[in-house]
């Protein structure tokens, strides 16, 4: 009897433990506090930020890491732009070469027609077509002849006008350009049709099709901050210095190497569970409660008395604690092909 479970396509002789030992399928891992980055750590090097700076979205990083990250992206964008421009120039040269080839082919065909080098059958067909066509002068009515004469007379009168001459010259130039483009398109179509004739034998090494080198255009023309998803633009002018306040360590904590920071207003020790805000003008970091209570209403920083508007307050991003109440993700997922 067949299996009726939701995993009815899975092999039945593998146990639950054996399937979990394999590196297949969706993996889930509960994140603890040790897996969370500290609030004062750089999101690029994962170490305590040296000379910390943050972007307009509140992502903290070292000044050196930020500068190196932006410089690397600018170099990569310039390299991609250079490759894309070289590809565009090559495609333009190929198009010009195809145009010249079409014009040369048309001139050669015209010369063969004029010198009588075409096959006798084609010449016979052309003569037969000419004999079957009725003469326009024999069958034309007097009214049509009068209209054509008037049109010819009007055209001769318009030739003397310089504006009409310019317009007719532009129209003739457009027609010649359209004809050349059509010849190029016809030549490309003929080449593609000839290549399709040998395409079914693609398994032969001599007839294997080749994929062209296509270089896509750069996705973005400016550096991006990769700390969030989706990424957002970042520049050197929009990086703000961050100044943490050193906490007064007790004699029992002086031997610890980990530096402790505190809020300069309420003297509360900062941790991953504390919501932090930055005063953009002066760079002081305060907890969210003190910023709302003392700085936002007064319009000045209560540490250095610098002006601080509501638009100058940036909430610093943090990964939170390992508890679900922190409001951040506490479980990591990795999606992969299921094991059958």
Q: Summarize pLDDT for 33-42 with one digit per residue, the tens.
A: 888 889 999 9
The tokens for 83 are 């490759």
Tell me what pLDDT residue 196 has: 53
> Has residue 94 got a pLDDT over 90?
no
Compute the distance between CA of residue 48 and CA of residue 6 in angstroms, rounded to an integer.
Answer: 47
Tell me what pLDDT residue 191 has: 59
- Sign of torsion over alpha carbons 292, 297, 303, 304: positive
Q: Which CATH architecture has domain 16-70+223-334?
A: 2-Layer Sandwich (3.30)
Most confident of 21-25, 31-35, 141-145: 31-35
Give domain limits for the chain.
16-70+223-334, 83-132+140-198
- Sign of torsion over alpha carbons 55, 244, 63, 32: negative
Tell me which H or E stretch contains 142: helix 142-159
> Has residue 91 got a pLDDT over 90?
no
Mean pLDDT score, 156-171:
66
Compute the distance between CA of residue 166 and CA of residue 159 in angstroms, rounded to an integer.
Answer: 10
Query: Where is pLDDT greater, at 155 or 93?
Result: 93
Q: Annotate 39-101 with three-state secondary structure.
A: CCECCCCCCECCCEEECCCCCEEEHHHHHHHHHHHHHHHHHHHHHHHHHHHHHHHHHHHHHHH
Say which residue the tokens 């009588």 belong to. 116
Average pLDDT, the chain: 77
Tell me what pLDDT residue 223 has: 93
User: Residue 250: pLDDT band by 50, 70, 90 thresholds?
Assistant: low
């Amino acid at each position: 009897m067949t299996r009726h479970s939701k995993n009815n396509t899975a092999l039945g002789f593998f146990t639950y433990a054996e399937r979990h030992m394999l590196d297949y399928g969706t993996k889930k891992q509960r994140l603890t506090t040790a897996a969370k980055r500290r609030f004062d750590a750089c999101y690029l090097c994962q170490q305590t930020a040296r000379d910390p700076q943050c972007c307009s979205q509140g992502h903290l990083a070292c000044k050196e890491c930020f500068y190196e990250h932006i410089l690397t992206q600018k170099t990569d964008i310039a390299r991609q732009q250079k490759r894309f421009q070289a590809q565009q120039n090559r495609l333009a040269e190929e198009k010009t070469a195809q145009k010249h080839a079409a014009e040369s082919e048309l001139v050669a065909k015209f010369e063969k027609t004029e010198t009588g080098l075409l096959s006798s059958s084609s010449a016979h067909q052309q003569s037969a077509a000419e004999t079957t066509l009725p003469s326009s002068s024999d069958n034309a009515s007097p009214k049509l002849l009068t209209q054509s004469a008037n049109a010819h007379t009007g055209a001769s009168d318009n030739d003397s006008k310089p504006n009409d001459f310019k317009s007719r010259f532009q129209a003739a130039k457009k027609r010649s350009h359209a004809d050349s483009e059509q010849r190029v398109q016809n030549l490309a179509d003929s080449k593609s049709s000839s290549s399709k004739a040998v395409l079914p034998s693609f398994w032969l090494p001599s007839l294997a099709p080749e994929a062209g080198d296509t270089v896509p255009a750069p996705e973005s023309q400016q550096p991006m901050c990769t700390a969030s998803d989706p990424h957002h633009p970042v520049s050197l002018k929009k990086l703000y210095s961050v100044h943490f306040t050193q906490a007064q360590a007790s004699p029992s904590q002086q031997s610890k190497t980990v530096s402790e920071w505190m809020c300069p207003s309420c003297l509360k020790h900062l941790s991953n569970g504390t919501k932090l805000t930055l005063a953009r003008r002066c760079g002081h970091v305060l907890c969210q409660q003190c910023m709302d209570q003392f700085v936002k209403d007064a319009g000045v920083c209560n540490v250095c008395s610098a002006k601080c508007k509501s638009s100058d307050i940036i909430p610093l991003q943090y990964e939170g604690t390992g508890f679900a109440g922190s409001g951040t993700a506490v479980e990591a997922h990795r999606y992969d092909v299921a094991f059958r």
